[in-house]
Amino acid sequence: MLDNIIHYFERIPSSHRSLILFGGIGFFWLIEYAVPLFKTEYPKVKHAGINLFFTLTTIVINFLLAMLLLDFTTTWTKENDFGLLNWLPELTPWLYTIIGILLMDLIGAYFIHWLEHKVKWMWRFHLVHHSDINVDVTTANRHHPGESVFRFVFTMIAVFILGVPLWMFMLYQSLSVVVSQFGHANIHLPNWLDKILSWVIVTPNMHHVHHHYVLPYSDTNYGNIFAIWDRIFGTYDSLPPEKLTYGLDTHLAEKEHSHIGEILKVPFMPYRPPVGANEKNKEN
């Protein structure tokens, strides 16, 4: 079975990757209508149009950068037996795959995400993702083109450090797309189910806390696929859904979160320090 998975992801067609991306959006979009977490009315189609614009820019940038970096990086590490995965003692194929996916999620997603919140110039681009005041499945791919560039480069650095083969990268990316869409989706899960799942993967209730509009909540729950990293590194937090407010306290003006032209300019505006750092104390 694993051999078939490896063979498929070594040669996964671009059309299949597009199907995973847009099929996931369509799937979770329908679930959002059936069991929404928030039933508040907002222009869902217009909102999706803005986020899909940034989805398309991300696709184009990732495609172009992949042509330049992905094959070179994975081929070089393989030919030179370089990277943490290549230096491990001989493992069963399944254990090798599981460890690789976990490390890719830790270094190539959790750590990079945490870094984006700590480095000011990176945050100026990443805040475009956080400025969405109506978080749903389309928010998962709402990334400023500038962020798409440096995020891909940092991901390639993680691939280089780990020595991740091409098939594992493609498998990880496919899992990442679906779980990220799930985590952002405006869907309601029974509390018992959400609590169980959130010990393994990032769930809507868990990740939506990260999109609360003020610190310290927006600096928690950085996980991408696996929820364990936030618990291990002490960045996990929770907040009842009824207390959530999406967006950013520094960019609440409509033009800065709901107009594509203005959103593109946001990273180049003067830095605005967050104003709600003591919000948790106020709520407790």
Write down the pLDDT at residue 70. 93
Q: How many helices (H) and strands (E) does the chain have?
A: 15, 0
Token pair recorded at residue 268 = 């180049």
Angle at which helix 93-105 crosses helix 2-10, to 10 degrees, equals 50
| Domain layout of the chain by residue ranges | 2-8+29-283
pLDDT digits (tens, 9 = 90+) for 125-153: 999 999 999 999 999 999 999 999 999 99
Write down the pLDDT at residue 248. 94
**Cα gap 134→125, rounded to integer Å:** 19
For residue 67, what is the DSSP state? I
pLDDT digits (tens, 9 = 90+) for 191-220: 899 999 999 999 999 999 999 999 899 999
**Cα gap 130→213, rounded to integer Å:** 8
Write down the pLDDT at residue 282. 45
pLDDT digits (tens, 9 = 90+) for 248-278: 999 988 888 999 999 999 999 988 887 765 5
Mean pLDDT, residues 157-177: 96
Write down the pLDDT at residue 123. 96
pLDDT digits (tens, 9 = 90+) for 64-109: 999 989 999 999 999 999 999 999 998 999 999 999 999 999 999 9
Write down the pLDDT at residue 276. 67
Upper half-sphere CA count for residue 46 (Cβ side, 13 Å): 7
DSSP string, 135-197: -SGGGGG---HHHHHHHHHHHHHHHHHHT--HHHHHHHHHHHHHHHHHHHS-B---HHHHHHH
How many residues are there in the chain? 284
pLDDT digits (tens, 9 = 90+) for 21-76: 999 999 999 999 999 988 877 888 999 999 999 999 999 999 999 998 999 999 99
3 state SS for 93-127: HHHHHHHHHHHHHHHHHHHHHHHHHHCHHHHHHHH
Write down the pLDDT at residue 280. 47
